[in-house]
Amino acid sequence: MLICICYRERERERDLEMGFSEKQEALVKESWGIMKEDIPSLSLYLYIQILDIFPEAKGLFSFLKDTDEIPQNNPKLKFHAVKVFKMVCESAIQLREKGEVVISGSTLKSLGSVHLQKGIADPHFEVVKEALLRTVEKAVGEKWSEDMKLACEEQERLVKESWEIMKENIPALNAEEIPQDNPKLKAHAVKVFKMVVKEALIRTVEKGVGDKWKEDMKGAWSEAYDQLAAAIKAEMKQDVAQESNTSA
């Protein structure tokens, strides 16, 4: 009995340290079990959602920025989307078991380097997070109340409207890239995107797992994505530090 209590205590301590609980792990694994049956379709849906939330993201992808092709018909996007979607989901389901984001060192370093070169900042991670949550929701299915639907639609409208206002009022904001060194823009953008992250997560997870949807899945996928984003951003900071040391 004492051994069991000690074991559970260690489990709780580990959950507190990494912010990803046993219950969240179970929810993520359950929804991934449903989603992996339709990876190609859901992967593409993820990127369509990214472009829907933040159309300027098109300029960040070499295979999208110089074409007017419908994203669904772009073979390079399909290939890239599957690779990213699987990486995110597979790292999420191993998060608690391994105690950290599990991506090979070379892959994580490459991600950090590429994201740094593209000028990726916190608001971009929030966009992808919202898109991921929408995707999971689509995969698990849901029964929205009309009030909840209206609330989500209004939140999305406010986000898109805010971006248009920012473009007009912030001279430094380029149509294809968010300046990483603009603290006022970053603070405003993060605040705006956080308005929709929770509801978007619910919608994505619910659609993905269907009638097996549980309210706690929202928190589980949100935490899993935060862990992955933190790992990539940490790698980006290391690249910046290395560049500074080299130039010094």
Query: For 185, which DSSP code?
Result: H
Range of the domain at 77: 23-247
Counting DSSP H helices and E strands in the chain, the numbers are 10, 0
Q: Is 59 exposed, middle or buried (0-12, 13-18, 19+ CB in 10 A)?
A: middle
Please state the pTM of the whole predicted model.
Answer: 0.52
Radius of gyration of the chain (CA): 19
Classify residue 47: in a domain, yes or no: yes
Classify residue 182: in a domain, yes or no: yes
Classify residue 5: in a domain, yes or no: no
Task: Answer yes or no: are the C-beta atoms of 25 and 89 closer than 8 Å.
Answer: no
Classify residue 165: in a domain, yes or no: yes
The distance in angstroms from the start CA to the end CA of the chain is 59
Classify residue 70: in a domain, yes or no: yes
**CATH number for the domain harbouring residue 33:** 1.10.490.10
Whether the CA torsion 106, 226, 162, 151 is positive or negative: it is positive
Classify residue 156: in a domain, yes or no: yes
Classify residue 193: in a domain, yes or no: yes
Classify residue 6: in a domain, yes or no: no
For the chain, how many structural domains are there in total? 1
Task: Answer yes or no: are the C-beta atoms of 135 and 204 closer than 8 Å.
Answer: yes
Tens of pLDDT, residue by residue, the chain (248 residues): 434 333 334 444 444 344 567 777 777 777 778 888 888 888 888 888 888 887 877 777 777 777 776 667 777 878 878 887 777 777 777 766 666 665 555 555 666 666 566 666 677 777 777 787 777 777 766 533 344 334 334 444 444 444 454 445 444 444 444 444 555 545 544 444 444 444 555 565 666 667 777 667 777 777 777 777 777 677 767 766 776 676 66
